[in-house]
Amino acid sequence: MEHFIQMIGRNMFAIFGAMALGGAAFMVASRTAVHSVLGFLFAMLCIAGCFLSLEAEFLGMAQILVYAGGIVVLFLFVVMLVEMSKKKEKEVFQLQSRYAIVAVLLGAAAFLGVFRKVLFGAASPEALVLRPELAQGLNVASQNAQAVSRGLFADYLLPFEILSVILLVALVGAVVLAKTERV
């Protein structure tokens, strides 16, 4: 039992990653929009778990807050507003699905061609593993939020400010786009 729990703890990323993939596949494949939103929610929560298992605690929590708390609710509201359409969806998938699948397969082949050595090769000179001794620089698990905020407000202050302006523009734009004609 102890051994089993330890094994789960070691493979936390793989478990969460597989569940995220399942949620994403459910999102793409399901017919009703509400089911898609639920699959999206599940995938986002599992990605937050992935972040946590990669020792980005602050980002994992922010992911849960932003996505599960904000974006999914926004999506559900719009589904509720929009999905009562009179004419039903004739087909879920588009006609050019064949071409799309061919394009994606080509992309996957290109990816595998580039990363074949990294993913399946026996031993590259410097193996791509997560190095624990470097992670000390992040002060992981004790002060992750502090480290992230130092990066954000000291090194990347300008992108942060630009992001705030973009959020303001998006806010105003969303209000203008969604308001009714007769105001």
Q: List the interface residues with another protein, window 70-89 (CB under 8 A).
A: 70-71, 74-75, 78-79, 81-83, 85-87, 89
Give 2 or 181: the residue with its C-beta nearer to another protein.
181
d(C-alpha 36, C-alpha 123), whole Å:
41
d(C-alpha 163, C-alpha 41), whole Å:
24
Q: Out of 3, 4, 113, 136, name the contact with another protein by CB under 8 A.
A: 136
Q: Rule CB under 8 A: say whether 104 interacts with another protein.
A: yes
Size of the site for another protein (CB under 8 A): 91
Non-local (6+) Cβ contacts of 139 within 8 A are: 146, 147
> Taking CA 72 as the corner, what is the angle to CA 46 and CA 173, rounded to the nearest 5 degrees?
130
Q: Out of 8, 106, 109, 166, name the contact with another protein by CB under 8 A.
A: 166
Q: Rule CB under 8 A: say whether 5 interacts with another protein.
A: no
Nearest distance, CB of residue 118 and another protein, angstroms: 7
Nearest distance, CB of residue 105 and another protein, angstroms: 10
Give 4 or 98: the residue with its C-beta nearer to another protein.
98
Are 68 and 49 in contact, with CB atoms under 8 Å apart?
no
Non-local (6+) Cβ contacts of 21 within 8 A are: 43
